[in-house]
Chain A
Amino acid sequence: MDDKNATGKDTLDKLTEVSTDALKCMQCGICSSSCPSGRHTSLNIRKLVKMAGKTTDILDSAELWMCTTCYNCQERCPRGIDIVEILLDIRAISAHNGRILPEHKEVCAMLIEHGHAVPINEENKMKRTGIGLEELPETVHKYKDELEEVKVLLSSCGFEELVMQAGISGKEDSA
């Protein structure tokens, strides 16, 4: 329990650090009114900006993952706050705290295994040859040594570990 609190404090420090710029926010709401996702989901970017740096509750907000990173809010913010950059940093802190959605985990697994978020499949190999391209593109799909390089880098950066751990603590969080 103590450990968890200590982690929480550390996390809040990190959140505060990446969100300093959000303190300039005057809650005018142009970010929300410019947000295409906000018209179709429960994302209220103005609320997230208000929460940014003040509470670790933001890490559990499902809305954090509803942003398509279209940058409209950031472009139109009269205070020049880099809203999307802040949101991406908060997402990363959330991921490092064990929160990665199952679907996103699958995308990560694709990258780890194939070096591509969307790897080739049989149907598309046929599509390729059907229009006169080689079956495999000039990517890591064709060059296995190069794929190994990608795997070395993913491991060097601790990415696999991050994704694996997220699964475990994600379960604990929802329990």
Chain B
Amino acid sequence: MKGLSLFLGCLVPNRYPGIEMATKLCLAKLDIDCVDLEGASCCPAPGVFRSFDRTTWLTLASRNIVLSEQKDRDMLTICNGCFSTLEDANRSIKEDEESKEDVNRHLEKIGREIRGDINVRHIIEYLYQEYGPEKIASYVERQLNIRVAVHYGCHLIKPTKDRGLGSFERPAFFDELVTALGASSVEYPDKMACCGAGGGVRSAMKDRSLGMTEAKLARIEETGVDCIVNSCPFCHMQLDAGQTEIKEKNGAEFNIPVLHYTQLLGLALGFPAEMLGIDTGIEKNRKLMDLLDSQV
């Protein structure tokens, strides 16, 4: 198995750097061979850029993949959107010689060439396949006795024919990684429903986008969980910042903490919340921190 390079994307380093820190701390603690990927750009995002021009989308994605090829490492993504773009682009390059030649005609102008000889991994998929819940559990220093609403997000698992992680209707692998940390994964209606942000809907139609988010949050609230855990910083932003935006829009108030899995894992591995960017200054996250502190 190849080592990994960490693909950051846009939202993690530029909006939720705590997720970047949490990822790096967790990877080191789990002894995973992963290095920085210098000079990567936007993946670019599948919903918008692929919607405008497939060649541009494929070419920029290929440049990012080349950076990892040149290190002879597989790429590790921590975002469902990046996973969707990079996985789909990588498959196109591997399976379609014509696409590969087209892309290389563009890459030639910057002195690069894509070979199509590495793989793209998502951290949830990677941890599940290469470690598994039992091994993850063996690293846990702090059992998280909390109730969690797991949000898979769409592009981690769909389209299922390309992702190969089984049916999307009732998946369990992400839940198993959460329960490995001592937490309970609570079932809730519309668990597999979209957060509402994807496909450029958040940027162009904010109100409609938040309508979907509010429906999802209301379902989660009914279950009385301690937090939401996701695998995608775009879903993360929608479910987190979306709570503030929904309150401004129509006064509906949710106070549900939102964590990326690497942040939850970081807590279980013994790192303090501040290092993981689980900002205790955010009122809704303070609830969760107080609960965890009371359990120590």
Q: Does B208 contact A (CB under 8 A)?
A: yes
The proximity string for B residues 145-159 relative to A, scoring 1 for CB distances below 8 Å and 0 otherwise, is 000000000110011
Report the separation of the CA atoms of residues A62 and B208 in the bound assembly, to the nearest whole angstrom.
13
For residue A100, CB closer than 8 A to chain B, the reply is yes
Known: A117-B42, A132-B275, A142-B38. 15 other contacts (CB 8 A): A41-B205, A65-B205, A69-B199, A92-B53, A104-B52, A107-B48, A111-B44, A116-B10, A117-B10, A139-B39, A145-B39, A153-B56, A153-B110, A157-B53, A163-B52
B56 touches A88 (CB 8 A): no
Inter-chain contact A107/B39, CB cutoff 8 Å: no
Q: Total interface residues on A, using CB and 8 Å? A: 65
Question: B198 and A74: CB pair below 8 A?
Answer: no
Q: List 8 A-B pairs, Cβ < 8 Å.
A: A40-B212, A68-B201, A91-B51, A101-B204, A124-B14, A131-B274, A140-B41, A152-B110
8 smallest beta-carbon distances between A and B, as pairs: A146-B39, A137-B13, A40-B211, A71-B158, A91-B51, A70-B194, A68-B198, A115-B41
Q: Nearest A residue to B201 by beta-carbon distance?
A: A68
User: How distant is A128 from chain B, measured CB to nearest CB, in Å?
Assistant: 4
Closest to A129 in B: B17
- Do A118 and B10 touch (CB < 8 A)? yes
Question: With contacts A37-B201, A120-B14, A138-B36 known, is A75 near B110, CB below 8 A?
Answer: no
Contacting B159 at CB < 8 Å: which of A84, A118, A158? A84
B-side contacts of A128, CB under 8 Å = 13, 17
Residues of chain B with a CB closer than 8 A to A140's CB: 39-41
Proximity bits, B20-41, A CB within 8 Å = 1, else 0: 1100000000000000111111
Contact residues in B for A40 (Cβ distance below 8 Å): 196, 208, 211-212, 215
A91 to B52, CA, bound (A): 7
Taking a contact as CB atoms under 8 Å apart, the answer to whether B212 and A92 are in contact is: no
Tell me whether B200 and A107 are in contact (CB under 8 A): yes
Residues of chain B within 8 A of A124, CB atoms compared: 14-15, 17
Q: Any chain A CB within 8 A of the CB of B89? A: no
